[in-house]
A and B are shown apart, each in its own frame.
Chain A
């Protein structure tokens, strides 16, 4: 009798245990609308999260609009990560159309904002406010964002909280090392030469953290021909401030770029990554940030 019952008991027990183990295996479903937050989510979550990156590297987050496939994924997500500070103009539609029960984490709203220069133009961009939404150009903000993501993940999956805390600590240590490297690199550049001419006013956080002055220029973000009056103003600014280099992220119109460099003698300093991660060495936050710092130091020193 007992012998007969043993296999049955084992079978019933296995029925109980299987769903529990399946539950333990289920990963936290995360939707990310920022290349930067995708990296943070993957670093903090590790094997315990399944991150869907809706905004891919190289995609302009200002121009991005969710597609129907994105909406379905968001509908199933447990956590939705957003840059915030008015970067995602579609956030209202996203909530409404997906009816998601997932938690929306508007990461950038977790720390203070810097304003873009009032004279800065944003042709081709849809900033709904004068806040600079590019908070990730401050390494200190990246640390705060990492802690926000860690806490959100731990709340959604308390069983994995220790793992998330450990992973976050490792990533925060990497950010500390990056901050130290940045200070040492920028120490090669005199503080009175830290001048950044930009029309895409995306570097307020970087400027504040590293002692740069931004000369925001209106009217050069798009490929359209800006007025000759505007170009004359830019030339006057560069001459008056003794700016050594301008950067191709700032000025996308090659004709205008040629005219400005010819008239001022300023050189083209290279390309800066403003809107998130890119390809190659800039595919990671550390790589992207080091590229920007090295480009600035080499062009301006």
Chain B
């Protein structure tokens, strides 16, 4: 069991090396930051939007996640449009910016959203002259 000191030193070195490699792997893996958690991004789907006004506005804008997705100048009293948007189970917020004539009486807009399953959801927005309102569907 005694063997030569050189042989014992070599064996000890090999043993340390054998242990050191997995230890190195473990510690470096722990230090490295992981990737950002993968969030499931809802797939973009076709959504129908019909806007009906009691009084035709000067302009209307629709925003989704802070970005303009549809706008019309001097629109008719009824508008229809199709949007391609992510529509998660939790629903979506649409922001409506409507400009009616300054001297116009109280007016309203009826927004009917047809979701990807074909189900309609309705909300009304009331105001005079300028309206900026967030509506949650469904």
A interface, CB within 8 angstroms of B: 180, 183-184, 186-194, 211, 238-239, 242-244, 261-267, 301
Contact = CB atoms under 8 A, between A and B. Distances in A.
B35 interface: yes
Given A244-B37, A262-B30, A184 B95 contact: yes
Interface of B: 30-31, 33-40, 42, 63, 65-66, 86, 88-95, 132-134, 136
Contacts of A239: 37
B132 to A, nearest CB: 7
B118 to A, nearest CB: 20
A58 to B, nearest CB: 32
A182 to B, nearest CB: 9
A242 B39 contact: yes
Contact of B95 (A187, A261, A264, A301): A187
Given A194-B90, A242-B39, A243-B37, 18 more contacts: A180-B132, A183-B93, A183-B133, A187-B134, A188-B66, A189-B65, A190-B42, A190-B65, A190-B88, A191-B90, A191-B93, A192-B42, A192-B88, A192-B90, A211-B91, A242-B38, A244-B36, A244-B39
Contacts of A244: 36-37, 39
B134 A183 contact: yes
Nearest to A192: B88
8 contacts: A183-B133, A187-B63, A188-B65, A190-B42, A191-B92, A191-B93, A192-B89, A244-B37
B46 to A, nearest CB: 18
A180 B96 CA distance: 13
Contacts of B37: 238-239, 242-244, 264-266
Contacts of B86: 190
Contact of A265 (B36, B42, B89, B134): B36
B40 A242 contact: yes
A239 B34 CA distance: 11
A194 B35 CA distance: 20
Given A242-B38, A244-B37, A186 B30 contact: no
B34 A264 contact: yes
A1 to B, nearest CB: 71
A180 B134 CA distance: 8
Contacts of B95: 184, 187
